[in-house]
Amino acid sequence: MMDIRNLTTDLETDSALVRAVDALSLTIARGETFALVGESGCGKSMTALSLLRLLPDNGRVTGGQVDLDGTDVLALPESRMREFRGRKISMIFQEPATSLNPVMTVGRQIREVIERHTALRGKASAAKAVDWLRRVGLDAPERRAEGYPFQLSGGQKQRVMIAIALAAEPDVLVADEPTTALDVTIQAQILALLQDLQRSQAMALLLITHDLAIVSQMAHRVALMYAGQVVEVASAADFFARPLHPYAANLLDALPDASKRGQRLASIPGVVPALSQTFAGCRFADRCQDAAALCRSAPPQLHEYARGHAVRCFIYEGALGRDHASRNVAPAFASAPQDQPATPSAATPLLAVRDYKVWFPIRKGLLQRTVGFVKAVDGVSFEVRTGRTLALVGESGSGKTTVGKALLQLLRGQAQIAGSAVLQGQPLDALQGAALRAARRTAQIVFQDPFASLNPRMRVNEILEEGVASLHPEVDARARHARVAALLDKVGLPAGALARYPHEFSGGQRQRLAIARALAVEPLLIVADEPTSALDVSVQAQILNLLSDLQTELGVAYLFITHNFGVVEYLAHDIAVMQGGKLVEYGAACQVLEQPQQAYTQALLKAVPRVLR
């Protein structure tokens, strides 16, 4: 269906020419799911944008061919390419919040695709748009079709983006992190929908994701990308049963789960190298435990080690004179396993929430009178103790994010809030002015959408230092700069990132910046709203190790809002399950995970994808 040969993409920046994709070659068969995996910044999303010719103004394809069902899309004039986009090849973008038009209704945006590429018009296209919203799992699809993107949660916006991409039933679907913001039940539903479309239409799917469990269950073949190059290609079964490249082995070792609880996750030291440089040897050499002198002096080629399994490594070419079986691919923990922090003896919790309610008014008419309320959070109660992690889980739209924002007083004036939230003995809802500012030294938040929460006009050093300067004025400029530079290293970003702007980073890199910003003021409580959802597994391991270290050393507590049950199994001490604005199950992590009492919790756990090795 698609044959990609030597695709090369360059980005022109103020400082240098960046080769984001370097001579990439892949073939994707009709009806096949081909997964492209790798760390953030490796060139996966740039590959996708190159295929659809949607590169930014400073990007251009400088070589190669992309043959789509007999047509080289790189040679088409833009007028014909517009006919291909949406109908022959479509894309689910990584960040739905920035991909949806904020001044068009959801239904109109879906109808735009349907009317452009099919014969449906008027009421027929509107009905089809509502049907797609229903198929991707949105409740009340008729009402959602009349709403705007800002009225939807992150997961709901992602489902709308998926509906737009599938609306014209394309031959090839490029899915860039299609389930990043989705809870496990909707994720399972979306993946089942994609599989149904593949069977009925022989649709080819290029799946770009960092979720190796999804790759394990969905993909027929896998390509692992690193620093703009493909370093391993294999069937999914071979890739997970016997990863050959050291990078692949390290990624699988970094996956969190219950078996690694209390241990440090394996993480890959260093960061992806800058793609503006000229490489003399293997691009992974500086981070590889098996690197030899040859690895730094000559570039390895993609070598077919076994039938259908190719790898870019000298070990498998025999050039290093070593038996590949002797490599240490067991989990390489950064230090000896350590116990999770014990339950603190203090009787008073750090945060106590009692019968908390957050109701949003529904206003209608010329005078915008309140005619009802959306009960986003309707009487929840829980505690977060010093040095412990409470995981808040549930489907998208269940009220998890609303709880986090309301607790930190970010919804004042937008909603009616009742009940009590007491932080270190202080009722948060009663705090004003200086008292509220002082409380924010204790509690910080990592937002779900890093792009929308980072100021696009500020450089990274200004973003990270802003909170310290505001909440800790006693810290001088030199100390602030040293603090944020150290944090940048901890979250796996190079020191040079301090002088750059948010738009110059990938989605996963922006998420790391958001985490660093919250950590900069050294809070005792962090409300983390999907903090690892946009991160690949190796960086996720670094972040989870960092969060665990801070909890052990400083007693930091976390209200961890997530749909990633691997992270929950690894990190959480307690779990609260939300459904429809209410808590339906609450208890110790081991009890909730091993003996769930509610049918809803059981359904969530059943839908969790697992890596099959």
CA 210 to chain centre: 8
Please give the single-letter amino acid code of residue 88: K
**Contact assessment for residue 229 and residue 20, using Cβ atoms and an 8 Å cutoff:** no
Token pair of 604 as six digits: 């969530």
| Coil, helix or strand at residue 178 | coil
- What pLDDT, on a 0 to 100 scale, did the predictor assign at position 335? 35
Distance CA 418, CA 260 (A): 39
- What pLDDT, on a 0 to 100 scale, did the predictor assign at position 534? 67
Distance CA 612, CA 610 (A): 6
Q: Domain 2-219 class?
A: alpha beta
Q: For residue 469, give every residue at least 6 positions away whose Cβ sits within 8 Å of its Cβ, in sequence order, or none.
A: 475, 480
* The domains spanning 2-219 and 351-606 adopt the same CATH topology: yes
Task: Categorise residue 416: left if φ over 0, alpha if ψ from -120 to 50, beta otherwise.
Answer: beta
Helices 599-606 and 184-201: crossing angle in degrees, nearest 10, is 50
Sheet arrangement for strand 426-427: 369-384, 351-364, 416-423, 426-427
CA distances from 67 to 6, 26, 46, 75, 198 (A): 12, 11, 18, 10, 20
Distance CA 227, CA 210 (A): 15
Question: Structure pTM?
Answer: 0.75
For the domain 351-606, what is the CATH code? 3.40.50.300
DSSP annotation of 523 reads: -
Distance CA 267, CA 542 (A): 6
Q: For residue 590, give every residue at least 6 positions away whose Cβ sits within 8 Å of its Cβ, in sequence order, or none.
A: none
Q: How many helices (H) and strands (E) does the chain have?
A: 22, 22
- What pLDDT, on a 0 to 100 scale, did the predictor assign at position 190? 80
Token pair of 305 as six digits: 């080690």
Token pair of 324 as six digits: 């590949």
- What pLDDT, on a 0 to 100 scale, did the predictor assign at position 338? 39
| Coil, helix or strand at residue 186 | helix
Token pair of 202 as six digits: 């022989």
pLDDT less than 70: residues of the chain = 181, 319-347, 534, 613
Ranges of each domain in the chain: 2-219, 246-253+263-326, 351-606
- What pLDDT, on a 0 to 100 scale, did the predictor assign at position 575? 95
Of the candidates 468, 447, 466, 448, the residue with the CA atom closest to the CA atom of residue 457 = 466
- What pLDDT, on a 0 to 100 scale, did the predictor assign at position 157? 87
Token pair of 552 as six digits: 């052990």
Between vectors from CA 226 to CA 225 and to CA 229, what angle results, nearest 5°?
Answer: 70
Between vectors from CA 366 to CA 365 and to CA 367, what angle results, nearest 5°?
Answer: 90
Exposed (0-12), middle (13-18) or buried (19+): which is 288, by Cβ within 10 Å?
buried
Q: For residue 552, give every residue at least 6 positions away whose Cβ sits within 8 Å of its Cβ, in sequence order, or none.
A: 338, 341, 387
